[in-house]
Amino acid sequence: MKATNLFVRSLALVSLGGFACSKPPAKAERIDATGISADQSAVVLEKEPEIVPAETPKEPEKVLLTNAFTVDQKLDLVIATDAAVGDGRGIDVLAAQLNILGKALSTAMDTQIHFMTNEPLVLPDLAAAKIGFIDQAVGPTDIIGLLGTLFANGFAEQYVDAAGDALAAPLAFRPGAKLEVVLFSTGNGEDDGNLAVDFDPANALKANVSAVVAMADSVESDECTIEAVGQEYIELSKKLNGSLIDVCSANFVQIFTTLTSEITKRNLSFKLAEKPADPRTITVNVNEKPATRDLWFYDGKNNAISFLSASVLAAGAKVEVKYEQAKTP
């Protein structure tokens, strides 16, 4: 082969190889405002919003409160007993139980007792200066009217001591004292002036009235003869938040035990400054010593601590109540 042809063919091969190895010119990329090319944007997934867990509500903070009290309650107690009750049970038995009642209530409260009865009674455990007997016969049908006269100061000159001697001045009803009235009867109020509606119609006295009277299911005995169901007295007791007890109860002692307990609960109570978050958190100290839960209870209706026995306290005792109060949002 001629040298000239060999040179030409070699040159042609070199030219073809160079063409085959060369790349086409790069295509210009279009970049959008996000900095991502148009080609890339086709495969980029939209980012999901970040999920932030909700905050767990915080429990309200508890505030520990302490309420302090001094036992200084005053109690004016009126007891009206018709003659039939004393005659049936025995005047000595009645006097002994009234003595126990007065002593129990006087332990923790400054108690004055007005006895409306046919005759003075022997009450050895009570302070003579705290007792006034009203020398007035009491019948089974007229107690409401007699109580009205008493509170209108109509018996001021009939106050006597245990010996039957006239008092220099009637035992006074004290401003600020709690007022409890207990009536014992085997009969029922009759006629105008002796009906439930006739007793303190404006509730100016703020009295609690308890009735120890004959009920519809009372059972007569040698010691208890019923003249009538004491319906007017029952109605009065219910209206004025007193105790209601069967006068013919076979257990005469239980009558006075119940009266002592219920009068104590109504009057030996201490109103709290705030509502407790949980009554179970309440603790009570008397004279810096814990008072166990069998001695007191929380009265939710009145937001108060009430004691179950007057013997738990004494006049001048210091009562301290601690409890948790839910913090106001």
pLDDT on residue 119: 84
- Share of residues in the chain with pLDDT > 90 (%): 70
At residue 118 the predicted structure's pLDDT band, cuts being 50, 70 and 90, is confident
Enter the pTM of the model: 0.75
Parallel/antiparallel/unpaired status of strands 269-271 and 304-307: antiparallel
Bigger pLDDT: 271 vs 326: 271
Asked if 69 and 319 touch (Cβ cutoff 8 Å), the reply is yes
At residue 6 the predicted structure's pLDDT band, cuts being 50, 70 and 90, is very low
215-218: which pairs have CB atoms within 8 A and are 24 or more residues apart? Answer: 215/246, 217/246, 218/246, 218/247, 218/248
Residue 44 predicted with pLDDT over 70 = no
102: number of Cβ within 10 Å = 23
Residue 17 predicted with pLDDT over 50 = no
**Buried (b) or exposed (e) across 218-245, using 16+ Cβ within 10 A?**
beeeeebebebbbbbbbebbeebebbbb
Residue 295 tokens read as 């001695």
pLDDT digits (tens, 9 = 90+) for 262-298: 999 999 999 999 999 999 999 999 999 999 999 999 9
175: number of Cβ within 10 Å = 6
Residue 107 predicted with pLDDT over 70 = yes
What is the pLDDT averaged over residues 10-39? 48
Asked if 295 and 309 touch (Cβ cutoff 8 Å), the reply is yes
Which are the contacts of 322, defined by CB distance < 8 A and separation ≥ 6? 64, 65, 66, 67, 282, 283, 284, 285
pLDDT on residue 223: 92
Plot region of 38 (φ>0 → left; ψ -120 to 50 → alpha; else → beta): alpha
pLDDT on residue 66: 96
CA distance 200 to 196: 9
Residue 23 tokens read as 């790349």
pLDDT on residue 326: 67
At residue 328 the predicted structure's pLDDT band, cuts being 50, 70 and 90, is low
Nearest to 229 by CA among 276, 269, 189: 189
At residue 63 the predicted structure's pLDDT band, cuts being 50, 70 and 90, is confident
Residue 144 predicted with pLDDT over 50 = yes
160-169: which pairs have CB atoms within 8 A and are 24 or more residues apart? Answer: 160/120, 160/132, 160/133, 160/134, 160/135, 161/120, 161/128, 161/131, 161/132, 161/133, 162/120, 162/121, 162/122, 162/123, 162/128, 162/131, 162/133, 163/120, 164/119, 164/120, 164/133, 164/135, 167/132
Euclidean distance between the first and the last CA atom of the chain, given in angstroms as a whole number: 109
Least confident of 20-24, 89-93, 302-306: 20-24
pLDDT digits (tens, 9 = 90+) for 153-193: 999 999 999 999 999 999 999 998 999 999 999 999 999 99
pLDDT digits (tens, 9 = 90+) for 187-216: 999 999 999 999 999 999 999 999 999 999
pLDDT on residue 45: 52
140: number of Cβ within 10 Å = 23
Q: Which position has the token pair 């009674």? A: 121
50-53: which pairs have CB atoms within 8 A and are 24 or more residues apart? Answer: none
